[in-house]
Structure 1
Amino acid sequence: MALYAELHRHLGGSVVPRVLWRYFQRHADDKIERFADYAAFEDFYTRPRNTLDEYLELHTLVESVQTIETLPYFVYRLIRGAYIFENLAYLEIRYTPYLRTSEHLTQSQRIEQMAEIVDVVGKASQLSEYPIVTSQILCMHSRLPYEVNRAIVDLAAQKREYVCAVDVAGGDGHYAERLEEFVQLYAYARSLGLNTTGHLYETPAGCYPELLPYLMRIGHGIQIPLLHPELLPDLASRQQCLEVCPTTYLKTGTLQDMRQLKLVFDRCLDAGVDIAICTDNAGLHNVRLPFEYENLLTLDIIDFDELQACQDAAFRHAFAWPYGDRPASLLNGLLKPSLPTGVLAMQD
């Protein structure tokens, strides 16, 4: 029974270790020849890193094999797992399309090829046997030139049948020297009527208040309640939602203990700032969305009422969810027993 919404799932980090291992065995065994067996590969792929930058290097391992030809293979397995194992009714897949284009092409040719990448991902996501509402978020990147990032924004505007928003990724500590450029790009995106989110306030090095007014949601954003709680009233007034990905902060060395998130949830909920609980990179973490919920409950970071509030917020802030209510609310109406006509008359 599909019940949940996932608002922050990277295409590169969504591939679970077993699927990636099998792909490498069949098509690129040079990438795993240094590992003695699957267990050694899984340990390498999922173990914590010391910094966010070190963690993000793992994305390049997957990006190098996610091409026009292979994307349907990876997207199919992502959708299948999300439906069967995570009970997802809604999924936003985010990625940088330029990094899936052919490296032998010129920059202008790769920009042109991005449209084909979006089409391939969009069509591969529509599976009748796994009925999940899906949409794409196209990520600008801190290490790509302005021309490519602007082309990504333009592509998002051109492909609204598949794309629901734009984002910026690549490590929030790298935006500083190009901050005005990203402000201009987000202002441009908003002028085109695009939805916006952005990897921001994930680490202490990624705190840029200049970008906040342009974002409808904030990717991570945990440093706002931790280090800058004075900003929370502004977030509440703008109805911005934080996309909190609990396991990520342990994998990147940003937090040492998941219990540190209790302050994040407490301060946000007290201030009226919504939180959507997400996975970020379910494959890299080997942790699916229901387990993120369970971990937060088990560690007494949130209670069941707060969990439901976060689940409701995920659907409320979903950029492409087409219904007024979340699936649980829709099911409640379907499951109510219908009363015989005579009984209804007696009640009247």
Structure 2
Amino acid sequence: MALYAELHRHLGGSVVPRVLWRYLERSSSKLLSRFADYSAFEEFFTRSRSTLDEYLELHTLVESVQNAESLPYFIYRLLRGAYIFENLAYLELRYTPYLRTPKHLSQSKRIDKMAEIVEVVGQASQLQEYPIVTSQILCMHSRLPYEVNKAIVDLAAQNTKYICGIDVAGGDSYYADRLSEWISLYDYARSLNVKTTGHLYETTAGCYPELLPYLMRIGHGIQIPLLYPELLKDVAKRGQCLEVCPTTYLKTGTLEDIRQLKLVFDRCFDAGVDIAICTDNAGLHNVRLPFEYENLLTYDIINFQQLQACQDAAFRHAFAWPYGQRPASLLNGLLKPDPMKALAMRDN
């Protein structure tokens, strides 16, 4: 029974270690030579890192094997797991299409190839056997030049069939030197009616209030309630939603204990700021969305009523969810007995 929405999942981090290992085996990848066996491979991918930069290096490795030919293999297995094991009804996949194009090509040719990558991901996501509503968020990247990032915004505006918004990723500590550039790109995106989110206020080095007015959702954003709670009033006024990914902050060394998130949730609920609970990199973490829910409940970070509020918020802030209600509400309507039919059955 598909009931949940996932708003923040990276294509590069969504591949579970076992699936990636089998792909590398089948393709006789040289990467396997770095590991003695699968156990060593899994431990390498799922262990915690000291910093966000160190953690993001894992994406570079996965991106190197994700291309137009291999993406259908990974996406099929991603959606199968999301539907069967996570009960997802809605999934937004985010990634940087430029980083899935052949490295030997020139920049202009790689930009041209991005549309093909979007088409491959879009086609591969249309699976009748696993009916999840999917859409793509294209990530601009902090280490890519302006021309590439602008082309990513243009592609998002041109292909609304498969793309529902844009993001900026690549490490939030790298935005500072190009802040005016990011502002202009987001302003440009909004002028094209492209929906926006962005990795912001994830770490203490990624706090840029100048970017907040251009975002419809905030990727992570946990440092706002932790360090700058005075900003929550404006976040609520703008109707922005935080995409909180609990396991990530332990894996990147951003937080020492998951219970530190209680202050995040408490201050957001008090200020009327919505939170969508997400996985970020479910494959690299070896976790699924229901585990994130259970973990927050187990540590008394939220209660069941607050969990439901977060689940509702995820559908309400989803960029491409086509219905006015979440699936549970639709299902309740189907299961609600018709009083006239019930009366007729009783009379018979």
Indicate the TM-score class for this superposition, using the shorter chain for normalisation: over 0.9
Q: How do residues 82-121 of structure 1 correspond to structure 2 at under 5 angstroms?
A: 82-121=82-121
CA drift at 1:342: 8.2
The 1-side partners of 2:99 and 2:292 are apart by 28
Q: Which residue does the alignment assign to 2:283?
A: 283
Which residue identity lines up with residue 37 of structure 2 in the other structure? D
The 1-side partners of 2:132 and 2:328 are apart by 15
Q: How do residues 234-313 of structure 1 correspond to structure 2 at under 5 angstroms?
A: 234-313=234-313
Q: Which residue does the alignment assign to 1:196?
A: 196
Which residue identity lines up with residue 276 of structure 1 in the other structure? A
Which residue identity lines up with residue 190 of structure 2 in the other structure? R
Q: How do residues 1-348 of structure 1 correspond to structure 2 at under 5 angstroms?
A: 1-340=1-340, 343=343
The 2-side partners of 1:30 and 1:215 are apart by 41
CA drift at 1:29: 3.2
CA drift at 1:336: 1.4
TM-score, with length taken from structure 1: 0.98
CA drift at 1:343: 3.0
Which residue identity lines up with residue 231 of structure 1 in the other structure? L
Aligned structure 1 segments of 4 or more residues deviating by more than 6 angstroms: none
CA drift at 1:245: 0.1
Which residue identity lines up with residue 238 of structure 2 in the other structure? R
The 2-side partners of 1:3 and 1:342 are apart by 27
SS where residue 143 of structure 2 aligns?
A: coil
Which residue identity lines up with residue 77 of structure 1 in the other structure? R
TM-score, with length taken from structure 2: 0.98
Structure 2, unaligned runs of 5 or more: none
The 2-side partners of 1:28 and 1:164 are apart by 36
CA drift at 1:32: 1.5
CA drift at 1:341: 5.0
CA drift at 1:258: 0.2
The 1-side partners of 2:316 and 2:59 are apart by 29
Deviations 1:149-184 (A, max 9, x none): 000000000110000000000000000000000000
Deviations 1:38-90 (A, max 9, x none): 11110000000000000000001110010011111111111111001100000
Which residue identity lines up with residue 82 of structure 1 in the other structure? A
Which residue identity lines up with residue 320 of structure 1 in the other structure? A
- Rate the CA distance shift 1:232–1:33 in 2: closer, same or farther, 3 A: same
CA drift at 1:272: 0.1
